[in-house]
Homo-oligomer: A and B are copies of this chain.
Amino acid sequence: MTYCVGMLVREGLVMIADTRTNAGVDNISTYRKLRLHGNDGKRLIAVVSAGSLSTTQGAMHRLAQGVHNPETGEDDTLDSVSNIYQAALAAGRALREARDGMVSLEQQDVNFNASLLVGGSIDGERTRLFLVYSAGNAIECGPDTPYLQIGENKYGKPIIERALTYDTDMYEALKIGLISFDSTMRANLAVGLPLDLLVARAGQSKAELVHRIDHNDAYFHDLSRRWSDALSHARAEIPTPPYGPGPLDLLSKK
């Protein structure tokens, strides 16, 4: 499993990915799922991936070699695409080719699907963020719902849904994302530390922050403890349900 989130607020882009992969609970490894291309002031393309590791690695390999673009006749790479939308489409083609190549290998209960988040800015364009599906299609993140998730998204969704708006500060968004990861890691062993994160200001092609949160990260431990304590306190402050014994046979069949 995997959990990745991308948040695109007015100030810029935040992307976070865990690093745990597993083939069954008895076979767990650490793989980097946040990949950066460029990050040189001209071109910033950040890709995070969830799903079949063989499919996403196959897709990234194809993307490095060049993926045929039927509209232009050219082979696209992350170095050649001229904007992030084209990067997302090229990644989608690569993903679909990689997955289709696996179909002949498919056994029962083996799923070769995968999905990507592709975000960044090329040559001064506005920063954009896309979710790329296995089929190769993509959706863009917009201000109304300024985040996209892939992988194990449900445990960590409520906190983002409650807290994040397009006008949230970029580092507040990062904090919200980390709380979301804390909830997810508590609920699903297949999502785990270290976490890789990226923060990039809107319109910039060089990340402001690239960081790995490992098992000894003091801030993340403090965040986890504070959040847990605060939830406990918040719960204690809510009054006990006032419902008295109702008509006891309300639901009875008798």
Residues of A within 8 A of B (CB): 32, 34-40, 154-155, 157-159, 161-163, 171-172, 174-176, 178-179, 183-184, 186-187, 196-198, 206-212, 219, 222-223, 226-228, 230-235, 237-254
Once the chains are docked, how many angstroms separate the CA of A43 from the CA of B11? 61
Cβ–Cβ contact B210 & A240, under 8 A: no
Within 8 Å by CB of A175, from B157, B208, B238, B254, lies B238
Q: Judging by beta carbons under 8 Å apart, are B240 and A230 in contact?
A: no
- Number of chain copies forming the complex: 2
* Alpha-carbon separation in the docked complex, A161 to B39 (Å): 40
| Minimal Cβ-Cβ distance residue in B for A182 | B158
Pairwise interchain contact B187-A235, C-beta atoms closer than 8 A: no
A228 and chain B: residue at smallest CB distance:
B162
If A175-B241, A226-B234 touch, does A248 touch B210 (CB 8 Å cutoff)?
Answer: yes
Shortest CB distance A78–B (Å): 8
- The answer to whether B254 and A241 touch across the interface, beta carbons within 8 angstroms, is no
The CA of A250 and the CA of B32, in the complex, are separated in Å by: 12
